Structures are given as structure tokens and as C-alpha cells.
């Protein structure tokens, strides 16, 4: 008997070391609870044992728990595991998970044996997780930048709602598709991947061009990193992208302003000289001929005085069009003064250069411009300079063409003269 009592005491100690509350119920009355259940309910053990279990169940769950208990005693089907709420001594409703079964002894009596797991911590964790998820959704929904994620094959697995403001696609339209589908060219996507590789799995401030749903271009600035799996293998890419299209457009406009004449959209004087110098260096290296045409619209001041500066602007633009239609694709033109222009023609001998100049001169003479009902006719004087195998500096070449231009003006204008012509 002593050994049996000792064994029972050891068993009770074991039950008191469980993480969950343990109970035995007979005829609806607690006949045993461990110390864990006592602490859960905040009642002394002796104030629980000998009392019906139903008052310890939250009134909103009491009918359900009693119906399951009754069905189980009758041998009917009833859940062995389910959630409900118990009431502590202070009236606190505590979420618990019950796991219960029936023990039948030799005398035919039935004992409900089970455990109660305190769900407060796990419920709090789940609620915190749910709130965190909602917070993340709210952040992704309201952030102006795009957060995205791809798998190891570059397929989109997550895309924030803000992508619709930048690319015109809803996130669902991009999910499951390769991210490369949305770049303007494959090389644009490669820029990001190359930056990731160079940065050891991180890419910062990478500019790339993407396609809007309507077919237009959008520029984005991306910061990304390579996600790794548990085996330290690449699992995909995660990043944040910002729309910088307006900035890029402004940069393009500033670049054009710095390189091109605002009215005629041809090279300005500085850029024309710079490009001509580069081409002259190539000609010097390969011992090739080049030609320069210096052109000045005749009596242009009269056009402005008689028809107004608006008409003068239209004349300048039309003249540039005549020149471009007359030139080869390798030639280029620049505006070097108010009504003065220059053409650089690589790999061109004197005969070819004079033919080009005469073609421009003739087409200008034959042109007509209708501005506000007024028909404007105008002409151009052109000077031609050629440099052969002993290619000189660009300033000398342009100076020679300018001298030839003065010859044309002195010859009555509306004509072509070359540097070595009388």
C-alpha cells in the first residue's frame, strides 16, 4: 500500500509539472485538477475540486461545453478537441484548448480526463501577427514606391499596389510573370542583375527603363537584394523601386538645352565644334578628307524687319529642314550664329562638298514659306573648305570655310564659293 501511495504521489508531482492544466471530472464535478489548472483559474485547488465544472465555463460557451460533455457521457459523437473560454476568479475570460476523453472503470463509472491549454499567449501572438500583416498591407498600399519580390527564376511573387500608379498594371496582372517582361529591353533588366552580382547580392540606386501598360516608357530607381534560402542558395530578389520619370525627362531636356539649339533643334555652336573636332581626329588617323560648309542666310535682318521675328524663326526652321534633306546621314549641322549654320561632312572631297552646297543653295532659292498669308522667299550664301590627308585643326578648317563664305557674299550672295576658288 505504501508503495502504491508513493507511486500516486509521484504521479501527482509529474502532472503538476505539465505545461497544461489537467483535470478529472465525474458526474459533472471536478475530482482532480493539477496546480497548472489551479493557477490558470486563479483558484486554490480545494476550491475547484468537489465543485461542478460548468460555473468555471464562460456563460457564452457554457451550453456548447455542456452539450459536448453530455454527448460524450452518453457515448455519442462529440469533439475531443475544441476551443472555448473559462472564467478566472477575477472574471477574466481566458481562451483555452481542451483535449478530453472518457475513462470507463470496472464498476461502469465514467471519468472525463483531459487537459486545458492556455491560449492567451498564442492568441496574442496570432493577433499581433494579424495586426502586423495588416500594417504591412497598409504600408504597401500607401507607400508611393513599389515593393516587389521574385522567385529564383525571376517570376513575380509579390507586387505592391503602388505599381498601378507607375506602370498601369494591377499587382495581380504582374504576379506569376517574369519581371523581365516589363523592362524596355533585356539589357535594362541585366543592369539590375549585374549590380546585384557586383554588389555581392545588393544593388543600390540602379536606373532602368520599364514599359507602362500603355506602351510608354517609365524610368525607375531600384534598390534590391538577393534573398537566400536555408541552404544559402539564391531564393529570389526583393527590392524597392521609385518612379524617376519626371527627373529623367528634366535631365533629357537639360541635356538637349546644353547640346541643341532651342529653336532649330540642331547642334549649338559649342557642341558642333566639339563633334567636328572628334570627326577631324578620326579623319587625321585614317588620312581621310573632310569638308565644312559655312552658311549665312542673305539679308536675314530684312525678313525680321518686314515680317517679324516669328516669321524669321519659321525661316530658320525651314532652312534647317532643307539642309537635312540635302545631307547624308553621316553629315551633321550646327547653328553657329543668329542666321549662320555650319555642316560637317566626313569622307567628302571638294567636288562632293560643292555639289552638296549647291544643292542646298538651289533648294533654298526655290523654297517658299507662307507665314500669316505672306509668301517669304530667301537665299543663302555658302563657303566650302576641304582638308585632305594633311588634316588641320578644326579652327583652321572653319576659318577657311568662313573666308570662302565672305567670297560668296562678295560675289553677290546666293552662291557657293570654296576656299581655294577665286
Mean pLDDT by 10 residues, the chain (422 residues): 55 76 94 93 94 95 95 91 94 93 84 92 74 64 81 91 91 93 89 89 91 93 89 88 87 83 93 93 88 96 92 96 96 95 95 96 95 92 81 82 95 92 52
Nine-digit cell string for 341: 549654320
- d(Cα 289, Cα 390) in Å, to the nearest integer? 9
In angstroms, the CA 68 to CA 81 distance is 10
Q: For residue 56, what are the CA distances in angstroms to 40, 50, 65, 83, 392?
A: 11, 13, 11, 14, 106
Distance CA 47, CA 42 (A): 10
| Confidence (pLDDT) at 93 | 94
pTM above 0.85, yes or no: no
What pLDDT sits at residue 2?
Answer: 47
Residue with cell 570627326: 279
Distance CA 260, CA 402 (A): 22
- What pLDDT score does 67 carry? 95
List of residues 6+ apart from 167 with CB closer than 8 A: 174, 182, 210, 211, 212, 213, 218
Domains and CATH numbers, the chain: 2-123 (3.30.450.20), 143-248 (3.30.450.20), 260-418 (3.30.70.270)
What is the model's pLDDT at position 263? 94
Phi and psi angles of residue 377, each rounded to the nearest 5 degrees, phi first: -120, 145
Cα 295 to Cα 414: distance, rounded to the nearest angstrom: 10
Q: What is the pLDDT of residue 389?
A: 46
Q: What is the pLDDT of residue 388?
A: 64
User: What is d(CA 359, CA 132) in angstroms, rounded to the nearest whole number?
Assistant: 74
pLDDT of residue 394: 84
Which three-class secondary structure state does DSSP give residue 294?
strand
| Alpha-carbon separation of residue 90 from 42, 54, 118 (angstroms) | 8, 16, 16
Amino acid at each position: 500500500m505504501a508503495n502504491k501511495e508513493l507511486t500516486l504521489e509521484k504521479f501527482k508531482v509529474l502532472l503538476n509539472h505539465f505545461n497544461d492544466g489537467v483535470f478529472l471530472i465525474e458526474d459533472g464535478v471536478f475530482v482532480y485538477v493539477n496546480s497548472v489548472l489551479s493557477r490558470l483559474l486563479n483558484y486554490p485547488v480545494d476550491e475547484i475540486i468537489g465543485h461542478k465544472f460548468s460555473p468555471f465555463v464562460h456563460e457564452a460557451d457554457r451550453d456548447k461545453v455542456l452539450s459536448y460533455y453530455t454527448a460524450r457521457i452518453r457515448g455519442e459523437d462529440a469533439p475531443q478537441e475544441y476551443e472555448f473560454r473559462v472564467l478566472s476568479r477575477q472574471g477574466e475570460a481566458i481562451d483555452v484548448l481542451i483535449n478530453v476523453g472518457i475513462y470507463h472503470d470496472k464498476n461502469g463509472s465514467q471519468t472525463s480526463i483531459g487537459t486545458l491549454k492556455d491560449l492567451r499567449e498564442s492568441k496574442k501572438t496570432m493577433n499581433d501577427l494579424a495586426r502586423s500583416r495588416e500594417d504591412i498591407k497598409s504600408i504597401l498600399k500607401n507607400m508611393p514606391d513599389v515593393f516587389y519580390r521574385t522567385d529564383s527564376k525571376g517570376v513575380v511573387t509579390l507586387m505592391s499596389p503602388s505599381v498601378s500608379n507607375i506602370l498601369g498594371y494591377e499587382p495581380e496582372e504582374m504576379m506569376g510573370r517574369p519581371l523581365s517582361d516589363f523592362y524596355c529591353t533585356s539589357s535594362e533588366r541585366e543592369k539590375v542583375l549585374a549590380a546585384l552580382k557586383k554588389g555581392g547580392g545588393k544593388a543600390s540606386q540602379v536606373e532602368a527603363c520599364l514599359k507602362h501598360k500603355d506602351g510608354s516608357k517609365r524610368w525607375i530607381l531600384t534598390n534590391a537584394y538577393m534573398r537566400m534560402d536555408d541552404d544559402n542558395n539564391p531564393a529570389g530578389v526583393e527590392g524597392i523601386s521609385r518612379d524617376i520619370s519626371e527627373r529623367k525627362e528634366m535631365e533629357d531636356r537639360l541635356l538637349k538645352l546644353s547640346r541643341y539649339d532651342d529653336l532649330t533643334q540642331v547642334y549649338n555652336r559649342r557642341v558642333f565644334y566639339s563633334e567636328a573636332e572628334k570627326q577631324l581626329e578620326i579623319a587625321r588617323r585614317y588620312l581621310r578628307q573632310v569638308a565644312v560648309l559655312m552658311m549665312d542666310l542673305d539679308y536675314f535682318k530684312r525678313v525680321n524687319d518686314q515680317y517679324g521675328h516669328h516669321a524669321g524663326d519659321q525661316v530658320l526652321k525651314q532652312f534647317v529642314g532643307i539642309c537635312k534633306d540635302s545631307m547624308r546621314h553621316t553629315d551633321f549641322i550646327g547653328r553657329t550664329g543668329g542666321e549662320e549654320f555650319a555642316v560637317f561632312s566626313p569622307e567628302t572631297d571638294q567636288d562632293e562638298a560643292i555639289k552638296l552646297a549647291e544643292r542646298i543653295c538651289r533648294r533654298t532659292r526655290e523654297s517658299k514659306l507662307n507665314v500669316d498669308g505672306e509668301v517669304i522667299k530667301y537665299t543663302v550664301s555658302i563657303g566650302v573648305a576641304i582638308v585632305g590627308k594633311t588634316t588641320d585643326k578644326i579652327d583652321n578648317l572653319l576659318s577657311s570655310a568662313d573666308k570662302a563664305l565672305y567670297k560668296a557674299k562678295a560675289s553677290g550672295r546666293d552662291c557657293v564659293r570654296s576656299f581655294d576658288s577665286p
